[in-house]
Amino acid sequence: MSQPKTKKETEDLLELYRQMLLIRRFEEASAKAYSMGKIGGFCHLYIGQEAVGVGAISALEEKDYIVSTYRDHGHALARGLDPKALMAELYGKKTGIVHGNGGSMHFFDKAKNFMGGHGIVGGHISLAAGMAYASKYRNDGAVTLCFFGEGAANIGSFHEGMNLAAIWKLPLVMICENNHYAMGTPEYRALSVKDVSVRAIAYDIARDHIEGDEVRKVREHVKVAVERARRGEGPTLMEISTYRFRGHSMSDPAKYRTKEELEKYKQGDPLIRAEKDLLNSGWAQEELTKLDETILKHVEDSVDFAEKSEEPPLGWLYKHVYAENV
Ligand SMILES: Cc1ncc(C[n+]2csc(CCOP(=O)(O)OP(=O)(O)O)c2C)c(N)n1
């Protein structure tokens, strides 16, 4: 994409950069807290993939729905969920976004139409089709955006969801974030195609494929798919190529890839890319440093909030399982 030129364009990129930096700093703090044993369960970081979530979600309206995977921190922050409530959720505290019941993989916020955080690989894709069906049935004009990895594109629910979305022309945008590894399995060992979006052809729906290194480019492409869905012209399957800089989860040392490979992808870090574009379009380094300091403080406040928040009482796990007072 061309360099941002007007004041509006550069301010817009600064806002997208702010969101990506918030995700990066939030996750660095999560990793630290996890290593100190303060966070239990699984924790899958999104570091390296930020331009995909931020770019895609910035193409949405408030009424639209988002369905995510267990790698959901970045999507939730990009949607504007409260970092304090998210950090407290990682800590399993009562003040967490789902009251400490879900943890890292199950962020959820109905007020923001953020419909999870799902731990079953691919299972959420047919749920997303169901949400898009609800929008069509209610005629509420909303679009559902569903994120998943290339590993999930080999799961039955992906194909079922895509078929239903196709025959009912559902307002669904399916974004495959291809980070080239499903846990330790490289894509060439598990995926029959080089580009997941070609699977759209089998279902006679629209498709797109882009590199996910540039946040504004991601938004531009996702917007086309979102507008198509909103016009009632059906779903789109997109592959956005990306890379995770950390292991699959916090417990993965990622020995299945070389340091050289990692370094090569780090050259295309979407944050560095956006920073360069901002500097070239007139922002001063000091302004970006100040922004980083503000974000770091914000993240520290979230950690502090999580640390000081109350633990859920014993028996809390049984709450919210069945409806009460019916
Ligand atoms: C149905 C199911 N099978 C296996 C797992 C274990 N598992 C968790 S993540 C993962 C890899 C998924 O890779 P991909 O879809 O490419 O997404 P990524 O983690 O790379 O974002 C697997 C196999 C699971 N959670 N659910």
Q: Tokens for 244?
A: 């995770």
Q: What average pLDDT does range 16-20 have in this prediction?
A: 98
Residue 281 lies in a domain: yes
Query: In this predicted structure, what is the pLDDT of residue 55?
Result: 98
Residue 114's pLDDT band, with cuts at 50, 70 and 90, is very high
Centroid of ligand 1 to alpha carbon of 304 (angstroms): 31
Residue 29's pLDDT band, with cuts at 50, 70 and 90, is very high
Query: In this predicted structure, what is the pLDDT of residue 13?
Result: 97
Residue 315 lies in a domain: no
Q: Is residue 4's pLDDT more than 90?
A: no
Ligand 1 contact, 120 CB (< 6 A): yes
**Exposed/middle/buried for residue 97 (C-beta within 10 Å: 0-12, 13-18, 19+):** buried
Residue 69 CA, closest ligand 1 atom number: 21
8 A C-beta contact, residue 269 and residue 48: yes
Centroid of ligand 1 to alpha carbon of 122 (angstroms): 8
Ligand 1 contact, 150 CB (< 6 A): yes
Ligand 1 contact, 53 CB (< 6 A): no
Residue 232 lies in a domain: yes
Query: In this predicted structure, what is the pLDDT of residue 1?
Result: 80
Query: In this predicted structure, what is the pLDDT of residue 2?
Result: 78
Residue 285 lies in a domain: yes
The predicted-structure confidence for 44-90, as pLDDT tens digits, reads as follows 999 999 999 999 999 999 999 999 999 999 999 999 999 999 999 99
DSSP 111: G
ipTM: 0.99
Q: Is residue 186's pLDDT more than 90?
A: yes
Average pLDDT of the residues of the chain = 97
Strands (E), the chain: 65-67, 144-149, 172-178, 181-182, 185-186, 206-211, 236-241
Residue 309 lies in a domain: no
Give Cβ neighbours of residue 186 (< 8 Å, ≥ 6 apart).
180, 256
CATH number, domain of 221, equals: 3.40.50.970
Ligand 1 contact, 299 CB (< 6 A): no
Query: In this predicted structure, what is the pLDDT of residue 35?
Result: 97
Ligand 1 contact, 302 CB (< 6 A): no
The predicted-structure confidence for 204-242, as pLDDT tens digits, reads as follows 999 999 999 999 999 999 999 999 999 999 999 999 999
Query: In this predicted structure, what is the pLDDT of residue 326?
Result: 81
Q: Is residue 318's pLDDT more than 90?
A: no
Percentage, residues of the chain above pLDDT 90: 94
d(CA 147, CA 44): 14
Residue 320's pLDDT band, with cuts at 50, 70 and 90, is confident
8 A C-beta contact, residue 80 and residue 39: no
d(CA 154, CA 162): 12
Q: Tokens for 170?
A: 């559902």
Range of the domain at 272: 7-298
The predicted-structure confidence for 236-290, as pLDDT tens digits, reads as follows 999 999 999 999 999 999 999 999 999 999 999 999 999 999 999 999 999 999 9
Query: In this predicted structure, what is the pLDDT of residue 321?
Result: 86
Residue 92's pLDDT band, with cuts at 50, 70 and 90, is very high
Ligand 1 contact, 149 CB (< 6 A): yes
- How many structural domains comprise the chain? 1
Residue 121's pLDDT band, with cuts at 50, 70 and 90, is very high
Residue 172 lies in a domain: yes
8 A C-beta contact, residue 151 and residue 190: yes
